[in-house]
Amino acid sequence: MSEVFVGLEGFTLPSGYICKALTIIYPNTEYSQFILEKPKNIMLTEQDERTVRYATSNLHSLQFSDGDVPYDQLDVIFRKLEGYTVYTYSNTAVKFILQFLPTTVVINTQDFGHKLPTSLPESNCFRIHLNYRYCSKAKAIEVKHFCENAQTSSTTPPQCFGQ
């Protein structure tokens, strides 16, 4: 079973999670990156809008209206990952991915003691972020590193990396 490493960035709104940036790293280190349009027909509450402004100015620097990949393409994008084991970071990300891949094994590296550092190195993702901890590519790279290290370390449960 092959592994892919997925990083998500978006808006965790009171009314639900909206993905804005998605990075997928394949086993051969090739990667895909998508900046998604906002979902069609979305109506933000005032509280949602406050959360959006906060995330844009304090976290990932991505605009809500940013992006060029239609949101409904997520279905097609994720379908290509069927048959892989998907590693990602956070329960929000797992839940989001499982909507598209209900029968795929999606693993939260946090469950294996993974904690994102407070900052991550620049990822050359062609976007400017205040802090690359909030970059989908930097996050996917970090998840991949965690799994590679877990594979060679005896202190982490072996099931973290392909069986």
CA distance 30 to 26: 5
Report the nearest approach of Zn ion to the CB of residue 107 (Å).
22
Report the nearest approach of Zn ion to the CB of residue 56 (Å).
14
Of 137 and 144, CB closest to Zn ion: 137
Report the nearest approach of Zn ion to the CB of residue 141 (Å).
10
Three-state DSSP class for 66? Answer: coil
Cβ-proximal residues to 76 (8 Å cutoff; 6+ apart), any chain: none
Report the nearest approach of Zn ion to the CB of residue 41 (Å).
27
Neighbours of 96 (CB within 10 A): 22
Of 114 and 139, CB closest to Zn ion: 139
Of 86 and 125, CB closest to Zn ion: 125
Report the nearest approach of Zn ion to the CB of residue 83 (Å).
27
Of 21 and 160, CB closest to Zn ion: 21
Q: Which stretches of the chain bind Zn ion, using CB under 5 A? A: 125, 127, 135, 137
Of 8 and 107, CB closest to Zn ion: 8
Nearest one of 13, 24, 15 to 101, comparing CA atoms: 24
Nearest one of 106, 117, 107, 105 to 142, comparing CA atoms: 117
Neighbours of 159 (CB within 10 A): 10
The helix/strand count (H/E) of the chain reads as: 4, 5
The DSSP call for residue 99 is H
